[in-house]
Amino acid sequence: MPRDRYPCVMKVVPPLFLLGAIVLGGSLTWNRLIDHLIFHPTPGTHFLPEQGGLQGENVFLQAEDGVRIHGFWLSSQGSTRALLFLHGNAGNASHRLPNASELVALKTNVLLLDYRGYGLSEGTPSEAGVYLDAQAGLAHLTNERGFVPKRIFVFGRSLGGAVAVDLAHGRELAGLILESTFTSAAEMATSILPFTTPLVGGRFDSIRKISQIRTPLLVFHGDRDQIVPYRLGKKLFHAAREPKAFEKIAGAGHNDTTQVGGRPYFERIRQFLDRWAPT
C-alpha cells in the first residue's frame, strides 16, 4: 500500500510557546487565542483527485451561518452508500486524498470536507464553526446526493473525531468511525501541560456526548500514539453504547495508522461498512 504523502497530522503546541501565547495574547479575545492554538489550517490544495486515479469533483457548500465550505466528492461507481470524512486539526482536505482513495476502493462514495479556513473554504475555524461545517457536509449527502442517513457513515480522525461525535449526537446514521481521537479538549490539555486545563473549558466534550449516541461505532487507535494518548481513545470507547468495537493498531503512532495497519486495517473498515450498510 502506498504511503500517505500528506499524513493526517495533529499539531500540538509546545508548552513554552503556549505559555508565551497566553502571556502575549492580550490583543486577542480569549476564545480567539484558544482557537489559534487548536486549529492549524493550510490554505489551497496540494494534491488533486486525478493524481491518485480518483474520479473526483470540487463541491462548495454553504454552512448554516453562510460560510462557504469546500470539499471533494469522490464517487465509487455503483455504490449506494456514502462516507463523510472529517480530518484533523492541521493541513487541508487535499492532504487526505490518498487515504480517501483507499476508502473509495471499499465501494463507498466519499465526501472529503475542508473546515472553514482550511483548503479552499472561507472563514476562520472555531469549535462552533467546524460543527456547522460537518452539518453542511451531511446535508449535502442527504439533500444533493440523495443518501438517506442510514446509508451514511461518518469518519472522524484526531480532532475530526470530536467533530464526528458532535455530528452523530442525536442522529441515526449507518455508522461512526473514530480514529486517534480523544475524550475532551480539557483532558488533552492535561496530557500536554496540566495548568492549561481550565483554559480550554468544555471544548470538544466528546466523552459527554458519546454515551447518548446509538449509531454503531468502530474505534481505531495506535498504542504508541504520543499526541493523543491511547488511554483517551480507550476511555472514549468505554463510555460509548453498544454496538461498538475497538481496534488497537499495535506499533502505530498518531500519523502512521494506515501504514502500520496495512491491508487488515482497511479490511476491518470494509467489514464494518458491509455489516451496517451493505453495498
Positions annotated as catalytic residues are: 158, 225, 254
**Residue 6 is assigned to a structural domain of this protein:** no
Overall pTM surpassing 0.85 (yes/no): yes
**Residue 179 is assigned to a structural domain of this protein:** yes
**Residue 7 is assigned to a structural domain of this protein:** no
| pLDDT the model gives residue 24 | 44
- The CATH number of whichever domain residue 83 belongs to comes to 3.40.50.1820
| pLDDT the model gives residue 51 | 81
**Residue 5 is assigned to a structural domain of this protein:** no
Per-residue pLDDT of the chain (279 residues; tens, 9 = 90+): 233 344 445 555 455 455 455 444 444 577 787 888 899 999 999 888 888 788 899 999 999 999 999 999 999 999 999 999 999 999 999 999 999 999 999 999 999 999 999 999 999 999 999 999 999 999 999 999 999 999 999 999 999 999 999 999 999 999 999 999 999 999 998 877 665 556 677 999 999 999 999 999 999 999 999 999 999 999 999 999 999 999 999 999 999 999 999 999 999 999 999 999 998
| Rounded CA separation 129/97 (Å) | 23
**Residue 3 is assigned to a structural domain of this protein:** no
Three-state DSSP class for residue 261: helix
Tally of domains in the chain: 1
The domain of 56 spans: 15-276
**Residue 174 is assigned to a structural domain of this protein:** yes
Task: Give the ranges where 92-196 is alpha helix by DSSP (H).
Answer: 97-104, 127-139, 159-168, 185-192
Do 153 and 175 touch, CB atoms closer than 8 A?
yes
- CA nearest 162: which of 195, 196, 115? 115
**Residue 105 is assigned to a structural domain of this protein:** yes
Is the bond preceding 14 in cis, omega lying within 30 degrees of 0?
Answer: no
**Residue 8 is assigned to a structural domain of this protein:** no
